[in-house]
Amino acid sequence: MPKLLKACFFDANGVLYHRTDRTRHRRAFLARHGIAGVLESTRDATGGVYLGAYFAVYRRAFIGQASEVELFDALLAAHGVTDARLLEEGRQAMADDQADITLYPGVIVTLGALRARGVRLGVITDSASSSADKLRWFRGQGLTLGWDAFANSCEVGARKPDARIYRAALTQADVVAGESVFVGHKASELVGARALGMATVAFRPDADAEAPMTLFDFVDLLALPFLA
């Protein structure tokens, strides 16, 4: 591992932020109108992704082949919502769920300290939401940092661990893979970064995720020697 790295890239959901109740607004919308929820048995093994038509749109939306509105409408259809009068309200409820994020403790302080050290900072995220929306969510949480790179799957056209999304971030930050570290929590995304030659750090990782270093407190990034 290089002694000193120029750039640090982060996954977004699960590393910079989390959602404490990711369906709160949607459940309230369904309850207001007496609409039944989708049965848990219709979820697939990846967790929270519904099978059938919605799953097909979900996969396309994350690589920019379907819009977020199309994704919302597919989920509303899975709930049986077909009345055009309810669609706009349902879409807004799901947009509110997406925006309802909570930064992990220490994120703002840590990123500010890394920036002060001259480290370039970027996000590599799989998302159906636009970068503009994500940046708005960040600002709402007090994270107003100007990023050196923001590679979003729905805009790049590829999801992790596809090399294209990592390369997009590297190009934006004007660094090569060996000058950078990726902080993630999923096994596949960490493997994808390592395959390009990026150093990796696991933050609050999934059970099957591995990296040379694992952190559970975000501020501990500041103690890593290659980011000193």
Q: Where are the domains of the chain?
A: 7-19+103-227, 24-99
Q: Is the peptide bond before 161 cis (omega within 30 degrees of 0)?
A: yes
Q: What is the DSSP letter of 30?
A: H
Q: Is the pLDDT of residue 1 over 90?
A: no
Q: Measured between alpha carbons, how far is residue 81 from residues 76, 126, 178 in Å?
A: 5, 27, 49
Q: Is the pLDDT of residue 190 over 60?
A: yes
**Given this model, what pLDDT does residue 40 score?**
47
Q: Is the pLDDT of residue 153 over 70?
A: yes
**pTM of the entire predicted model:** 0.92
- Which residue type does 154 have? C
CATH number assigned to the domain covering 7-19+103-227: 3.40.50.1000
CA atoms of 214 and 125, how far apart (whole Å): 20
Q: Choose the weakest-confidence range: 38-42, 59-63, 122-126, 137-141.
A: 38-42
For residues 143 and 82, which has the higher predicted lDDT (pLDDT)?
A: 143
**Given this model, what pLDDT does residue 38 score?**
63
Q: Is the pLDDT of residue 45 over 80?
A: no
% of the chain residues with pLDDT over 90: 79
Beta strands in 82-186 (DSSP E): 102-103, 120-125, 149-152, 180-184
Q: Which residues, 6+ apart, have CB-to-CB distance to 115 below 8 Å?
A: 121, 145
**Given this model, what pLDDT does residue 2 score?**
54
CA atoms of 8 and 222, how far apart (whole Å): 11
